[in-house]
Amino acid sequence: MRAPELRLRAPTPGLLGLPWDRPLSEWVVPDVPLRDIAVGMSRHLVKFVDADGHLWAVKDMPPRIAIKEYDVLRRLEEMGLPAVHPAGLVLQPEFETAILVTRYLEGSWQYRRLFMRLPPDQPRHRARLLDAMAGLLVELHRHGVFWGDCSLANTLFSRDGQLLQAWLVDAETSEVHPRLSRGQRRHDLEILVENVAEGLVDLAERLGLPEEMHQTLIGEAEQVQVRYETLWDLLHAEPVFGFADRYRVEGTIRRLNDLGFAVDELSLQPDESDPSRMRVKVAVGDRRYHAQHLQELTGLDVGEGQAAILLGDLHAYQAQLAREAGHDVDETTAARLWVIEILTPYEQLAHEVVGYRGTAIQAYCDLLEVRWLLSEKAGRDVGTNKALAALAGDVIPTDSAAKMSVAEVPTAPFAVLEMDD
Amino acid sequence: MAAITYKNASCIYEGSDKLAVDNLNLDIQDGEFVVLVGPSGSGKSTALRMLAGLEDIDEGSIEIGGKDMTGVPSKDRDIAMVFQNYALYPNKTVAENMGFALKLRGVSAEERRKKVEEAAKVLDLTEHLDRKPAKLSGGQRQRVAMGRAIVREPQVFCMDEPLSNLDAKLRVQTRTQIAALQRRLGTTTVYVTHDQVEAMTMGDRVAVLRFGKLQQFASPNELYDRPANAFVAGFIGSPAMNLFTASVTSDGVKLGDSTFELERDDLAKISQAGLSEVTVGVRPEQLEVAESGGVEVVVDLVEDLGAEAYVYAHAGSGSDGVELVARCNPRTAPRLADTVRLRRHPEGAVHLFHPTSGERLN
């Protein structure tokens, strides 16, 4: 018997001790600490192992594909892209197969979990989902990554303020290039549209929605192209201004910052066709503009969507402090006080009223959203306590982002599904 | 269906001054099955991707059905692509997998069913239409992936190493099916592979590429019998053609202590080219083990395949040594370390190439 070849990036005792000399199909409880996770059907055999306090996804695949996927995932990790982290690759020459090990993304969930738990037909939640998909594809393409099989089933989602963050979980068909051509991007986008349409239609069938819904869902999937192109164009725009109008650069930067993108470098060059005018080129950095700023002020490490909301709350608090003091209060002082006086107590309260599901910081973001929605409806500020009560009783608008917390309760363990009937 | 023309088409690698595809010219007939073959880095996949709209055409043009495709998005080129990594929906049946792209285009359920059934018949998948991909063999899954392309009735199929994920036995079986299917459908097909056997067995014509440049575009027989240069001569054929560069003598070339004799016409061509050295190519089946004449060699290995055997031997030694392969009858094959003579069959062809440019001389 030929021994397996192991490459583990987290050589912990639990992982090392797994039965790598046996085919994955033979891994069973109680010999192996497996956990059932609802991830839907996969083209390959996938199991989840609980070892050393972490959850690991182990996927059986042909060695050539496994090696390729492992390498691509490592490249994505180096580039800081939202994708599952590769933890190891085990070649099993005895069985002519390989096992790819990735670290399970804590707090993430599959799109089905959200929509199976919400009342049927939720276009606003679908819009958030599709925004996340388009955003992920733009991020990958900006870094020269051709996904090749972007689908809802190959993506995990996690909550990020009022947004969703999409994570690539399957890189079997992916390729990393120095730069993608327009044709490659378009092709990837076509695959995305077809696969997302399939995912939404499949879900509608499972939910027993009428067939007339299918064309609506297909239409929504097609809109991902528009979402993608709008974002891509904004990130790659090269506006031309007259020299006297250079203050308009600020608007370009603000639009990027509002979307969470930091600006690495700005260059103003005379336009080739009209040298009296300036062409603005912006080198766009990571999508952590607000997150970075909040971290500098408070030390908090949160998602970009969460940071945008929290900074808004901090600035409102700063204005309130200034009113009370009768003079300006600097942002750093306000931030220190905001963490102690506002964030710490209320995030605990919010987390408690939602039954500790998700993270405390996300519960606080939900509280802020609910307070804003209720206040808007009432035409006045309803206050935090009323919002807490609404959150506790789950009497919040169905299409609010806060409602997506239903996805954060893990699915109870269930028997392994058969691959076919 | 449509003809395809590459007109001086070039593609530049990002961040490099090297051309991934350099001035490619190909005239592909309507309904033809053309294979692009070459080693890694030859530009074969890039050339296909240029046709599919996935790579920019930096210079020149590509026409499909007489229309210039420069700047035309791939979805508007009426092509269907089949890649090595085909992603079927695991939760959908074969019929649903094949028909979903049509549903997306608003094709009615009845029309979809008709097209899927027709494609399934051609692909021999009719009895599997209600099954899910997990219940199919690798070859059947590959055919479902092709079915997804076929139902769209494209003008052109682009296939990028579609068999490389299959094991050797299945690859042989599936390549025969794909070639037969293409002939039945009559759809113009451009197929990329690094495997010269796949290229030779599938294509009506084969384009051999190296370093982005077209080396030869011809039928499999023509490539085998009259390779345009030493690279094509060595790339096409298995075992590879014997190729050695040697000094020219009055009646042939010097090989170790012997002379490998050449025809008078060939010697005249070498002389016309003013060469004192020449690269000689002889296919293994054009050499025979003989009692006398030819070149003296020492046998290094005999590969007995049952119906035939290949003798691997060397003539001369050190820097003058040349390795040769000859096909022979396994019943009369020499043994390891035997000293024997190898000579050209009376009817056997000898290929002559320029020792530096590699171009064919005869």
Contact call for A182 and B92, based on CB within 8 A: no
Contact call for B14 and A178, based on CB within 8 A: yes
> H/E element holding B232?
helix B230-235
| pLDDT computed for residue A415 by the predictor | 41
Is B103 in CB contact (< 8 Å) with chain A?
yes
| pLDDT computed for residue B15 by the predictor | 66
Peptide bond into A413 cis (omega under 30): no
Distance to chain A for B15, nearest Cα, Å: 8
The band of B240, judged by pLDDT with boundaries at 50, 70 and 90, is: very high
For residue B85, give the nearest of A172, A194, A214 by CB distance. A172
| pLDDT computed for residue A420 by the predictor | 41
| pLDDT computed for residue A43 by the predictor | 79
For residue A183, give the nearest of B54, B87, B89 by CB distance. B54
Which residues of A250-391 form beta strands (DSSP E)? 263-270, 277-284
Of residues A281 and B85, more confidently modeled? A281
Contact call for A183 and B132, based on CB within 8 A: no
Report, as an integer, the average pLDDT of B119-146. 89
| pLDDT computed for residue B18 by the predictor | 81
Is A148 in CB contact (< 8 Å) with chain B?
yes
> Which residues from B are below 8 Å from A177, CB to CB?
14
| pLDDT computed for residue B156 by the predictor | 95
| pLDDT computed for residue B245 by the predictor | 94
For B336, other C-beta atoms within 10 Å of its C-beta total 12
Q: Minimal Cα distance from B83: which residue of A? A: A173
Amino acid identity, position A173 = T
B167: pLDDT strictly greater than 80: no
Lowest mean pLDDT: which of A407-416, B28-37, B322-331?
Answer: A407-416
Q: What is the pTM of this model?
A: 0.84
Contact call for residues A122 and A168 (beta carbons, < 8 A): no
| pLDDT computed for residue A414 by the predictor | 45
**Would you write out chain A's pLDDT as a tens digit for each of its 421 residues?**
889 999 999 888 899 999 999 999 999 988 899 988 766 677 789 999 999 888 999 999 999 899 999 999 999 999 999 999 999 999 999 999 999 999 988 888 989 888 888 877 788 999 999 999 999 999 999 999 999 999 998 999 999 999 999 999 999 989 999 999 999 999 999 999 999 999 999 989 888 889 889 999 999 999 999 999 999 999 999 989 888 887 888 888 888 999 999 888 888 888 888 888 889 899 998 899 999 999 999 999 999 999 999 999 999 999 999 999 999 999 999 999 999 999 999 999 999 999 999 999 999 999 999 999 999 999 999 999 999 999 999 889 888 999 998 888 776 544 444 444 3
- In angstroms, the first-to-last Cα distance of chain A is 35
Is A43 in CB contact (< 8 Å) with chain B?
yes
Q: Minimal Cα distance from B102: which residue of A? A: A194
Single out the residue of B228, B236, B141 nearest to residue B194, CA to CA. Answer: B236
Contact call for A179 and B15, based on CB within 8 A: yes
Is B149 in CB contact (< 8 Å) with chain A?
no
Question: How far is residue A60 CA from its own chain's centroid?
Answer: 25
Is B227 in CB contact (< 8 Å) with chain A?
no
In angstroms, the Cα distances linking A155 to A74, A164, A401, B194 are 17, 12, 19, 33
Q: Minimal Cα distance from A195: which residue of B? A: B89
Contact call for B56 and A197, based on CB within 8 A: no
Contact call for A184 and B55, based on CB within 8 A: yes
Distance CA B194, CA B39 (A): 6
Is B75 in CB contact (< 8 Å) with chain A?
yes
Contact call for residues B142 and B160 (beta carbons, < 8 A): no
3-state secondary structure of A86: strand
Q: And the tokens for B265?
A: 């016409």
Percent of chain B with pLDDT over 90: 69
Q: What is the DSSP letter of A26?
A: G
Residue with tokens 């692909």: B123
Q: Minimal Cα distance from B89: which residue of A? A: A43
Contact call for B165 and A62, based on CB within 8 A: yes
A169: which residues sit within 8 A by CB, 6+ positions away? A83, A84, A102, A105, A154, A155, A156
Per the prediction, chain B carries an average pLDDT of 91
Mutate to test the interface with A, among B11, B103, B163 (most CBs of A within 10 A): B103
Report, as an integer, the average pLDDT of B204-229. 97
For residue B56, give the nearest of A41, A178, A183 by CB distance. A183
3-state secondary structure of A297: helix
Single out the residue of B42, B18, B28, B312 nearest to residue B196, CA to CA. Answer: B42
Is B259 in CB contact (< 8 Å) with chain A?
no
Contact call for B14 and A179, based on CB within 8 A: yes
Q: Is the dihedral of CA B192, B193, B198, B201 positive or negative?
A: positive
Distance to chain B for A144, nearest Cα, Å: 11
| pLDDT computed for residue A340 by the predictor | 96
Contact call for A177 and B14, based on CB within 8 A: yes
Q: Would you list the DSSP string of A147-167?
A: -S---STTEEEEEETTEEEEE
| pLDDT computed for residue A185 by the predictor | 95
Distance CA A8, CA A28 (A): 21
Single out the residue of A173, A174, A16 nearest to residue A88, CA to CA. Answer: A16
Contact call for residues B1 and B186 (beta carbons, < 8 A): yes
Angle at CA of residue A75, ends A50 and A102, nearest 5°: 10
Of residues A392 and B320, more confidently modeled? A392
Q: Would you list the DSSP string of A181-210?
A: -HHHHHHHHHHHHHHHHHHHHHHHHHTT--
> Which residues from A are below 8 Å from B106, CB to CB?
215
> Which residues from A are below 8 Å from B104, CB to CB?
193-194, 197, 218
Q: And the tokens for A197?
A: 């349409």
For residue B104, give the nearest of A186, A218, A419 by CB distance. A218
Distance CA B132, CA A145 (A): 30
b/e map A58-75, b = 16+ CB within 10 Å:
bbbbbbebbbbbbebbbb
